[in-house]
Structure 1
Amino acid sequence: MFDKISQGTPWIKADDSIIEADIDLISFALWILNREEETLQCDNSDCWDREGRFLLCKSLAYRKGQWKRPVLDLLLVQLIKVMEEKIGFPLLRRKPWGERGEMAVWATHDVDRLMIKYGLLLKLPVWLFFAAKQLVQGNKENGRYWLRKCFRNLKSREDSIYESIQKLAELEKEHRLKSTYFFMGLRRGISWGERLRYPISHPKAKNLLRHLVGDGNEIGLHPGRYKPFDKGHLINQQRNLEHALGKTVNVLRNHHLLVHYPDSWKMAEACGVSVCSNVGWRSGNGFRAGTCWPYHPFDIHADRQLNILENPMIYMDNANDAESEIVREVLSLANEVSLVHGVLTINFHTHIFETFDLSSKGAAYKDLLEGLKKYNFLNTEDIVGNLWNVNNAC
């Protein structure tokens, strides 16, 4: 299948009486969408990193050089084109997400850090240790960086991490953009399993939640890395966030994308989650499930469709790339998504505007909002609603 996409080889043809395909598209779709590739390698330690995540380099799509293309969607486009030519009229609308462009954008933000000053007395010794280590190794610039970080946060009354989230929210408000913010639901901000994060019951967390929801944004759950496959622990985090928010939370993305399929889908479904966005690569960006369309995973062994919608994550700002490189990569992925009229799901963490680190990610995000403004920016409620309209218009 990957070879036919990369070589542009026709896999389907039609004559006067029949349409003939030389690959089993249904089997391929079940295999790639449900991540059977990962399930089959569950006992092969070479395919998993230290935290238990499937390695991009071990995927067939990567080995075939096709992980940055929505291969399943492209195959479906070819099939639909042949069928439309055969019957003489269009089967699908070409702008399923409205008239503003050929694709939709779902902007999301993981809130890994909320306040740099939270637990500052515990952070300072660590930063000083990093500074000393770098200076001993001769890395003077890196050593000075950690020292400046210590002194700046001791002197300043502002919290650069919290202000970054406020700047991000204000920027999106100026663009009339609604996005989804994934908050951790931790009861304690300091723990052995999660180290230093933030308690969701903190007044600043509650204040931020109130303002984000008031501006029309959506709140999702970002379960921590500790006990990622423990249903009880997931339920507790969900309840903590719902208590702070004052409403139900049914959108989820795991911290560090710590998931095992299909078990993680089943656990989320059992907790009442309706939308997940975990099918993406942490070590690279692209199309982990071969699609940029939201879909319902199928439990092959139980022979049933899961009552959960997976909205694949296409881009996450993990790499410390230059501003121009970030913009180039996202727009390149956007072009692939537009070819199949899908959803470009992007994830920029909320600390991208932290002034001390002078990150290029904040500047890149500003540029991208301009570059992508011709498309519809949707939240999950809009996406689910549009999917219903698309399905009924086919």
Structure 2
Amino acid sequence: MEILVFTNQRTSRKQYCFKQVCYQILGFRVRFTTKIEEFISYQGVKFSYAKKPLGQELFVEAAGLLDEEGFGDFDIKVEDWNSIPCFFKVSKESSIPFDIFSASFYLLVRYEEYLPFVKNKAGGFPVEESTAFKYKFLHRPVVDLWAYQFLEVLQEKYPNIEFPQSTYTIQLQVTVHEAFAFRYKGLLRQLVGFFKQLLSGNLPQAWLQIKTQLRLVKDPLDVYDKIVQLAKKHQFNLKMFFQLSDFSKDNRNINHHKTHYQHLIKSMGDYFETGLLPGKTAIFEAEQLQKEKKRWKEIAKQEVKRVLVKKFPLSFPESYINFEKALIKEDYSMGYADELGFRAGSCTPFLFYNLNAEEVTPLKIHPFALHSSILRNKQSHEIQEKLTKIKSDLQAVNGSFNLNFENEDFKSEQFTKTKEFIIQLHATD
């Protein structure tokens, strides 16, 4: 179904935002017109988006953000629209009380991350500085909720309107920064690690290392068969990401030339879609990213299609500009490591809009809502209420619950807890 939108001028911001809200979330094709006569004579679903209504049509008042270029500071005031936080309030002439398109654009393009801010200890954007955190709606996919509220307004005006239905899903991303805890590492690294455990008094870990090297037990991080079986049994959509950086204080993985590591990457590619974990330098430097891309192609026998940044801060927009120039198609890094919720206010994949150049890029961003470190660093009762609310909201908008885990989360002592947690969120009741 097509929606006709009257607007005084077409802009790249409007085309980007309306396509995301109306098409990607709700499933409607959008066509713009600047001709009043064409809008009035159109017999299908339509509304105007401007400063003033043309007549008695369905009218959404524009706050103005989508007609601007560049960026500046805004005085954001958050109020409620049917119990959903909203901002960019407009006049009572509008059929809805907020310009949800300007608000959606503000969140999706990460407008506030283009403005000056003090970086956190990791060197990234502090979650505490985000509008969503300050106004306590970080854990809600507000862009999707606004879209569905707007759908109800459309259905009141056009009762016969139909839109494609999607379903609530769980999407898992599993990162492999360190493929094995002890196996396949050089002799020097093994000896250094062993004596560190002894000197620190961690005798159980030292003994585990000995047993692993003697093949008496399986390597603690060799959890890949269990992950495959879990995904198969419960039909989880799972992607796995591997690091191919040079050895450094930030990368303790085994060498990417190791046959066992290359075999692991290839074998996991038989079961799941796989991708690259860019090293700390590759996130910012195109030359290093190209080097890691080349390694990936030599091992996986295919181009890198997707990346995920997890242990290092995502720098916005520099990281995405680097990925887009490297012809990466998909990114799974949009979220916070220390808080549950939606960094860009949405659970629906969206394209990276470069605010510096005012252009839409082909890089598709898949936002995640949960970083597994939260489960390790916070008490379960602290996050259970938010998780319940997130799941409820996602089911209401037929959204996708993206979860970022590490292979470490599937070790023997944590496997049962991780499995039960995922299954609970996967249930649709």
**TM-score, normalized by length of structure 2?**
0.72
User: Tell me, which stretches of 5 or more residues in structure 1 are unaligned?
Assistant: 97-101, 134-142, 376-394
Structure 2: how far apart are the matches of 1:64 and 1:234?
37
1:32 equivalent in alignment to 2:107: yes
Cα pair distance change 1:51/1:123, threshold 3 Å: farther
Alignment deviations for residues 343-394 of structure 1 (CA, whole Å, 9 cap, x no partner): 1111121122323xx23xx22332245335556xxxxxxxxxxxxxxxxxxx
**1:133-212 equivalence runs, <5 A:** 143=201, 146-156=202-212, 157=215, 158-186=217-245, 188=246, 191-212=247-268
Match of 2:158 among 83, 87, 100: 87
Match of 2:416 among 363, 368, 372: 363
Shift of 1:90: 3.1
Structure 1: how far apart are the matches of 2:387 and 2:242?
24
Cα pair distance change 1:7/1:341, threshold 3 Å: closer
User: Which amino acid counterpart does residue 180 of structure 1 have in structure 2?
Assistant: K
User: Which amino acid counterpart does residue 165 of structure 1 have in structure 2?
Assistant: Y
Q: Which has the higher strand share?
A: 2
User: Which amino acid counterpart does residue 336 of structure 1 have in structure 2?
Assistant: D
Shift of 1:169: 1.9
Cα pair distance change 1:8/1:230, threshold 3 Å: closer
Shift of 1:275: 0.9
User: Tell me, which stretches of 5 or more residues in structure 2 are unaligned?
Assistant: 1-76
Conserved in 2, the CA contact under 8 Å of 1:223 and 1:234?
yes
Query: Which residue does 2:121 correspond to in 1?
Result: 50
Query: Which residue does 1:339 correspond to in 2?
Result: 396
**1:368-383 equivalence runs, <5 A:** 368-373=421-426
User: Which amino acid counterpart does residue 277 of structure 1 have in structure 2?
Assistant: Y
User: Which amino acid counterpart does residue 194 of structure 1 have in structure 2?
Assistant: D
Moved over 6 A (4+): 9-15, 322-328
Structure 1: how far apart are the matches of 2:90 and 2:135?
24
Match of 2:181 among 116, 137, 151: 116
Conserved in 1, the CA contact under 8 Å of 2:128 and 2:134?
yes
Conserved in 2, the CA contact under 8 Å of 1:266 and 1:306?
no
Structure 2: how far apart are the matches of 1:31 and 1:193?
37
Structure 2: how far apart are the matches of 1:329 and 1:124?
44
Cα pair distance change 1:6/1:127, threshold 3 Å: farther
**TM-score, normalized by length of structure 1?**
0.78
Structure 2: how far apart are the matches of 1:195 and 1:370?
31
Alignment deviations for residues 39-74 of structure 1 (CA, whole Å, 9 cap, x no partner): 102xx32xx223311111121111111110112222
Query: Which residue does 2:407 correspond to in 1?
Result: 350
Structure 2: how far apart are the matches of 1:124 and 1:326?
40
Q: Which has the higher helix share?
A: 1
Structure 2: how far apart are the matches of 1:283 and 1:131?
32
Shift of 1:127: 6.6
Structure 2: how far apart are the matches of 1:115 and 1:312?
28
1:309 equivalent in alignment to 2:385: no
Query: Which residue does 1:22 correspond to in 2?
Result: 97
User: Which amino acid counterpart does residue 240 of structure 2 have in structure 1?
Assistant: Y
Question: Once the two structures are aligned, what percentage of the paired residues are identical?
Answer: 19
3-state SS in 2 of match to 1:196:
coil
Query: Which residue does 1:295 correspond to in 2?
Result: 350
RMSD of the alignment, in Å? 3.0
**1:252-331 equivalence runs, <5 A:** 252-319=307-374, 320=376, 330-331=387-388
Cα pair distance change 1:71/1:164, threshold 3 Å: same
Structure showing greater radius of gyration is 2
